[in-house]
Homo-oligomer: A and B are copies of this chain.
Amino acid sequence: MAQSEPEKAAPAGPTPAFSPLYQQIKVLILKSLQAGEWKPGDMIPSEIDLAARFRVSQGTVRKAIDELADENLVIRRQGKGTFVATHAEQQVQYRFLRLMPDSGDLGSEGPAERQIIECRRLRASGDIARPLALRTGEAVLQLRRVLAFQGTPTIVEDVWLPGGPFKGLTAERLAGYGGPMYALFETEFGVHMVRAEEKIRAIAADAASARLLDVPQGEPLLSVERIAYTYNDVPMELRRGLYRTDTHHYRNVLS
């Protein structure tokens, strides 16, 4: 890793595609994360160690890690070290859930009561396969569950997962697990969700959802369709949630 030249001296490449050194370092660290060299929750080597390993200055490593921290892939803790981000921390119970109670500012209205409604294996239709980057007919797991807060059923969601990476996932394993679903994915299947996109709509409750959420059929509900990605923008989950918004709201900050 001599200078800031491109890693490969492409023979007469029309676009040299200049990439600063710290970006190249970032990619290397990313590869180690992806390869599982350090597991979620682990401490990664110190900046000095990484600088020696990559033969660059500490400042360059620093900038690479800064970006990874900005993207919530790692967490810096002064005096302790830098750690691989995880969904298994009691800090924010659900990192990707933006639903907040109208009254209490915090998500600390007690833990959600979870109930698995179903969990089955099936072949993906086109609508399911496409967002998961699978081919139509490939095996997927589908599961449905209800989340209740303080006794009020508030969320019903359908989740689709690619059959390969999640082979062996059953309703029993989910039901017998205390933490967030994404934490189980990390520890049991080595799948670390890193980023997600949501499309939000208002829809009328159908009969099945109305029953599960204990609201009249036709009640307006928030429809939240999420695609969650692992490293390298590989989609690993499709989720369609219906949220009651009479006691909660979806919170978003813009800047």
Q: Give the interface of A toward B (CB within 8 A).
A: 70-72, 95-96, 98, 194-204, 218, 220-223, 226, 243, 245, 249-255
Q: Are A98 and B252 in contact (CB under 8 A)?
A: yes
Q: Are B199 and A254 in contact (CB under 8 A)?
A: no
Residues on the B chain within 8 Å of A203, using CB: 202, 220, 245
Complex copy number for this chain: 2
Q: Are B252 and A198 in contact (CB under 8 A)?
A: yes
Given known contacts A196-B255, A198-B251, what 13 new A-B pairs fall within 8 Å (CB)? A72-B255, A195-B254, A197-B253, A198-B252, A200-B222, A200-B249, A200-B251, A200-B252, A201-B222, A202-B203, A202-B223, A220-B220, A222-B222
The answer to whether residues A202 and B199 also contact, given A194-B255, A221-B220, A255-B71 and a CB cut-off of 8 A, is: no
Q: Are A254 and B220 in contact (CB under 8 A)?
A: no
**Can you list 7 contacts pairing A with B, beta carbon distance less than 8 Å?**
A71-B255, A98-B254, A197-B252, A200-B250, A200-B252, A201-B249, A202-B203
**Which of A203, A220, A254 counts the most B-chain CB atoms under 10 A from its CB?**
A254
Q: Are B220 and A204 in contact (CB under 8 A)?
A: yes
Q: Are A199 and B249 in contact (CB under 8 A)?
A: yes
Contact of A196 among B221, B223, B253 (CB under 8 A): B253
Residues on the B chain within 8 Å of A255, using CB: 71-72, 194-196
Which 10 A-B pairs rank lowest in CB-CB distance, beginning with the nearest? A201-B245, A220-B220, A202-B220, A202-B202, A200-B250, A199-B249, A196-B254, A202-B222, A198-B252, A195-B255
